[in-house]
Chain A
Amino acid sequence: AQTVTQSQPEMSVQEAETVTLSCTYDTSENNYYLFWYKQPPSRQMILVIRQEAYKQQNATENRFSVNFQKAAKSFSLKISDSQLGDTAMYFCAFMKHYDMRFGAGTRLTVKP
């Protein structure tokens, strides 16, 4: 079974600075999807960014970008120009067909 590991339970960053959240996964599959989800205190799960494993180019969405290293099975999230609204839990997720696995999450606090 696939596993997803987020090794940083908590992180903090100053407003306007850059922070990188780590994620590694274990799979024998070649084609799959990877996601980062944000969960603010409202509990709503919000998609931040997605990456198809067959694409070598790293995905970007405005201030959010990923560093996808397929051989190393690593999928880190970089948040640039951090904002107070970025304070949330962030979950890394792996998906193959109908099976989706989540990491335990990283609690990010953006400090003013």
Chain B
Amino acid sequence: NAGVTQTPKFQVLKTGQSMTLQCAQDMNHEYMSWYRQDPGMGLRLIHYSVGAGITDQGEVPNGYNVSRSTTEDFPLRLLSAAPSQTSVYFCASRHPTNDEQFFGPGTRLTVL
């Protein structure tokens, strides 16, 4: 099992550009989520999904869109990047019975 994979590992954008952070898991987990991690702060929940076709907002959803067309994939879209979105982004999936979250390796995003 590859677990949770994220691409790219690093990305630099200019203000106003758009991009999609990719996330995939091969554990057949229904629940997936996206977090951002900023210096001096813990991870904050951006969006989550409880299954294909179902998404909802987390603590800090503004500026981000998600969709869930398959169980495996959960991409995060930045429609118009802003410097405030400079952060490390983590994708995670959750085991259905013991609630353990499995995190991807993260994407470091810099918006200039």
Residues of A that sit less than 8 Å from B by CB: 1, 4, 33, 35, 42-45, 47, 50, 91, 93, 95, 98-105
With both beta carbons as reference points, the residue of chain B lying nearest to A6 in the complex is identified as: B42
Question: Do residues A47 and B101 form an inter-chain contact, with CB atoms below 8 A?
Answer: yes
- Tell me the interface secondary structure of chain A in the complex: strand
Interface residues of B in 55-112 (CB under 8 A from A): 56, 58-59, 88, 90, 92, 98-101, 103, 105-106
Q: Bound state CA distance, A8 and B70, in angstroms?
A: 41
Kindly state the interface size class of chain B when it binds its partner.
20 to 34
One digit per residue, 1 when the CB lies within 8 angstroms of any chain A CB and 0 when it does not, for chain B 3-32 equals 000000000000000000000000000010
- Using a CB–CB cutoff of 8 Å, the interface residues on chain B facing chain A are 31, 33, 40-45, 48, 50, 56, 58-59, 88, 90, 92, 98-101, 103, 105-106
- Complex contact B48–A91 (CB within 8 A): no
CB of A103 within 8 A of CB of B105, answer no
**Please, which residues of chain A bring their CB within 8 A of the CB of B40?**
104
Chain B residues with CB under 8 Å of A42's CB are 105
Chain A residues, Cβ within 8 Å of B42: 4, 91, 93, 101-105
